[in-house]
């Protein structure tokens, strides 16, 4: 239990350091991505417990973020500590397309979760996570 608590504290500290020095739209963007990560964890928990209200709440939050995400990437908003790669702006069409894929995946998750079908909701959630990774692979620094 102590190891888990210490590991959790280290993860929180690392997350806080990652945002250290961020301001303006970069900080807002990083905060929103942090919130989406929290929503993904909550959805994972909702899938385990069968809490579809929780899943829907967080799927809605992800879908709202997905619809707004590209507005948090104005040109020139990639100074450190931003983790956005220059490819966001040099390949705006590709980035926007992947953001659109993410938005469609989150909309599908929200829709499917309203059926309370655990298997279908799990598949839809996996598609959301695949769309996240697809964008991060090309547009986010490791």
pLDDT digits (tens, 9 = 90+) for 43-84: 999 999 999 999 999 999 999 999 999 999 999 998 889 999
Lowest-pLDDT range, 9-18, 35-44, 123-132, 133-142?
9-18
For the chain, domains (ranges, CATH) are 23-139 (1.20.120.10)
Q: Does the pLDDT value for residue 14 go beyond 80?
A: no
Question: 11: alpha, beta or left, given left = phi > 0 and alpha = psi -120 to 50?
Answer: alpha
Q: For residue 68, which of 109, 102, 19, 34 has the smallest C-alpha distance?
A: 102
């Amino acid at each position: 239990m102590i190891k888990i608590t210490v590991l959790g504290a280290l993860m929180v500290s690392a997350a806080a350091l990652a945002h250290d020095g961020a301001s303006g739209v970069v900080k807002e963007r990083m905060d929103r991505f942090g919130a989406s990560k929290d929503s993904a964890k909550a959805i994972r928990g909702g899938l385990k417990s069968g809490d579809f209200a929780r899943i829907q709440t967080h799927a809605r939050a992800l879908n709202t973020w997905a619809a707004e995400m590209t507005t948090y990437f104005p040109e020139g908003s990639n100074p450190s500590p931003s983790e956005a790669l220059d490819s966001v702006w040099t390949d705006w069409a590709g980035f926007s397309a992947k953001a659109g894929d993410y938005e469609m995946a989150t909309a599908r998750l929200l829709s499917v979760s309203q059926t309370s079908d655990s298997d279908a909701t799990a598949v839809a959630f996996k598609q959301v996570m695949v769309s996240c990774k697809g964008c991060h692979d090309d547009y986010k620094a490791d």
